[in-house]
Structure 1
């Protein structure tokens, strides 16, 4: 029974810090606690191998190379830009068509007849004369 008590107390002492004298600093207490936890054979999870290091500069270097390569080499042409912007937006059918009451040509509703307007401009040009 005494051996069970000592084993339990040694395990508990590795988890719980001991009260240090007031003259000791916090850094010394934390380092002794940390070194005690790492040296305990029953706690392999807390041991940190010295070979594992995060290579942050190497990671950032690869990231910067990817960002720097993600630059277009040539300006996007007007045609390619329009193709991309107008994708899926085809021309719509015109359904509001009427006959012109003056000439009989088909025209859009609520707009002037282009044939009548062209004829009026032609006649106005003849009436004014050359020059």
Structure 2
């Protein structure tokens, strides 16, 4: 022990050459006492053990609760594909709040867009005219 103390003091004196030998030993003694004081708990432990002869009568549902907690643990690691599919899943659709009545036909349409019913009606009108013109035989004027 004395050799260890001498080695420690010589190492300290090599790093701190201005401190004298008694000052180093007093400093190390104070550090030892302070470290022991910190290692002891500030508040005494109030734990006590229940003797094995005493049995606590717990209701049956508490034991069943513990079993259900143990069974609620995942059994296997979630795969990378499942994690990515959850993360990249489609987001919920937003409700369309900008709806108006079409002034021509009275159907409900989205605001700032053409009424799909009126557009279909106009397309069918153009198709009908196109079919009439193609069904008529061209007249040769030669």
* TM-score, L = length of structure 1: 0.39
Asked which structure has the greater RCO (Cα within 8 Å, sep 6+), the reply is 1
* TM-score, L = length of structure 2: 0.36
